[in-house]
Homo-oligomer: A and B are copies of this chain.
């Protein structure tokens, strides 16, 4: 029997995804890296939701360890890094799109437009490529 990873709760695929991205912040970082080919730490910090420096650093290092994000030294500033989404991270796009659809339908204050929702429900794959690229 394979050894249980520390913190692993079961082999259920819902539990696994939640072990990796199941918190209030991680998928917002993934969102920013899907919408932007490359982000510096400060760009991610500037997102509307106001993530704290220590939480952002913690979540980025976990995402890097899981192979969802890569970090490269910034050629213009040796003390800074540039973050990009990997293919494993890009595969989370459908999870994010389904969350957006659910919120667009159930949040009275949603920023998602009715036109976006119609488009999303009509062809999710085309919308994903349009929003986040291949």
Contacts and interface: CB of A to CB of B under 8 A. Distances in A.
Contacts of A98: 94-95, 97-98
Contacts of A27: 14, 18, 22
Contacts of A104: 13
Contact of A14 (B9, B31, B50): B31
Interface string A45-59: 000111000000000
Interface centre among A9, A13, A103, by most chain B C-beta atoms within 10 angstroms, is: A13
Classify chain A: how many residues form its interface, as a range.
35 or more
Contact of A9 (B16, B48, B91): B48
A78 interface: no
A13 B95 CA distance: 12
A99 B18 contact: yes
Contacts of A92: 102
A109 B11 contact: yes
Nearest to A94: B98
Given A14-B28, A18-B25, A95-B102, 19 more contacts: A12-B48, A12-B111, A13-B101, A13-B102, A13-B110, A13-B112, A14-B100, A14-B103, A16-B110, A17-B103, A18-B27, A18-B28, A19-B24, A22-B25, A91-B102, A95-B95, A95-B98, A95-B99, A97-B98
